[in-house]
Amino acid sequence: MTAPLAGIRILEVGTMLAGPYATMLLADLGAEVIKIEPPGGEISRQVSDSYFASLNRNKSSVCLDLNSHDGQARLAELVAESHALLVNLKPSAIRRLGLTYETLRRFNDRIVCVAITGFGLEGGDQPAFDYVIQAATGVAALTGEPDGPPTLPGYSSADNSTGLAAALGLLAQITAGRGGQVDVSLRDVMLSQLNYHASAYLNDGVQPQRRPFGAHSYYVPAQMFPTAHGYLALFVTHDGFWKSFAGEANIEGFETMAERVARRDEVLAVVTAALATDTAAGWEARLHPLGVPAAAVRTLPEALDATPEIVVTAGDFRLVGNPIRIAGYQPEHRPPPKLD
């Protein structure tokens, strides 16, 4: 099967995570991605080879000094022959280097220019790293135990999510058949991902709050629970799940979600006591055949060992593959490019 994005050429002036992640996903799907790197290479090459590989497989590399006349001339040649350019730098640098549609349209009026920034192209240059954005948008304040400090989730959720949104915006504008500027910010993406929390506050005046064990605002029981050994994530979102779980756990009553929400503390006490009678792995094995959403908490190595099909080989690197599976299409996995 022909690659879904075969024939699409994308230029990337990316750094670290959000931009390179977006273009790597598109490269996996068949786009030709040319990574434009400064003299000395993109900064994430200095982190580690495996870090760079995790974000840059299936690309080629061109080394250009975009601060020079020759670099700008070569950029213009590439833009004339490309469908899109994606950049993640601070707004002043994007404009200074001429990486906007307003500047590049004279070389190709159908070029799609995607800018990933912290607060938008008009939002200023204040530093906007992933963890800073999680703190600024309410994500950190919602994470952790109620009597503990705000907590970060342990991976770069803002950068990764923004990369996905940027890839979507790029494809949307290409599909529209016209050039233009696409503006995606880490701040806006993370606020968007707080969707139902934000809606509850904006429409009902409900303040978001942290709950023990990461409990869900609307569903009960839907959270982490300690067991005889390990922790279990149990996510009961409707009465059918509850009926199956309660039958296995020998719990009576609380038959409707409305009752379980109204009597949250009672329900959680009963469920916690029941789950303490077996291990997390034991409950997972018992509940899966019943169709009840539950999983023992695993480490990343344990999760990767249990899911070998998600691991791909790109040259000397073993990496997590593209999460988008398209029937009939098997991506190639070329290693990350050497500089230039």
On average, the pLDDT of the chain sits at 96
Q: State whether 159 and 255 are in the same domain.
A: no
246-304 residue pLDDT tens: 999 999 999 999 999 999 999 999 999 999 999 999 999 999 999 999 999 999 999 99
Write the single-letter amino acid at 158: A
Q: Which residues have a catalytic role annotated?
A: 159
Over the stretch 7-59, which tens digit does the pLDDT of each residue have? 999 999 999 999 999 999 999 999 999 999 999 999 999 999 999 999 999 99
Residue 325: both structure tokens together: 């599976």
Q: Check whether residue 117 and residue 168 sit in a common domain.
A: yes
- Same structural domain, 147 and 280: no
The pLDDT, as a whole number, for residue 46 is 95
Classify residue 233: in a domain, yes or no.
yes
Same domain (yes/no): 161, 31 = yes
Using the predicted structure, report yes or no on whether residue 1 has a pLDDT greater than 90. Answer: no
Is the pLDDT confidence value at 207 over 90? yes
Tokens of 88: 């993640």
pLDDT for res 319: 97
Q: Which residues pair with 183 in a beta bridge?
A: 115
Q: Is the pLDDT of residue 333 over 90?
A: yes
Amino acid identity of residue 8, one-letter, is I
User: Three-state SS for 300?
Assistant: helix
pLDDT at 280: 98
In tens, the pLDDT along 136-190 reads: 999 999 999 999 999 998 999 999 999 999 999 999 999 999 999 999 999 999 9
The predicted pLDDT at position 3 comes to 96
Question: Do 104 and 34 have their domain in common?
Answer: yes
The pLDDT confidence band at residue 122, using thresholds 50, 70 and 90, is: very high
Please tell me the total count of domains within the chain. 2
Q: Please check whether residue 340 lies inside any domain of the structure.
A: no
Do 246 and 175 share a domain, yes or no?
A: no
Residue 129 lies in a domain: yes
203 in any annotated domain: no
Kindly state whether residues 167 and 21 are assigned to the same domain: yes
Strands in 222-226's sheet, in edge-to-edge order, are: 222-226, 231-235, 294-296
- Residue 167 contacts by C-beta under 8 Å, 6 or more apart in sequence? 22, 23, 25, 26
Do 160 and 292 fall within a single domain? Answer: no
Same domain? For 119 and 242 the reply is no
Are residues 14 and 121 located together in one domain of the fold?
yes
CATH at residue 314: 3.40.50.10540
DSSP state of 38: -
Domain span holding position 257: 213-297
If asked whether residues 169 and 220 sit together in one domain, one would say no
- Looking at the predicted structure, is the pLDDT value of residue 127 above 90? no
Same domain, 166 and 29: yes
DSSP tag of 167: H
Using CA atoms, how far apart are residues 298 and 148, in angstroms rounded to an integer?
A: 23
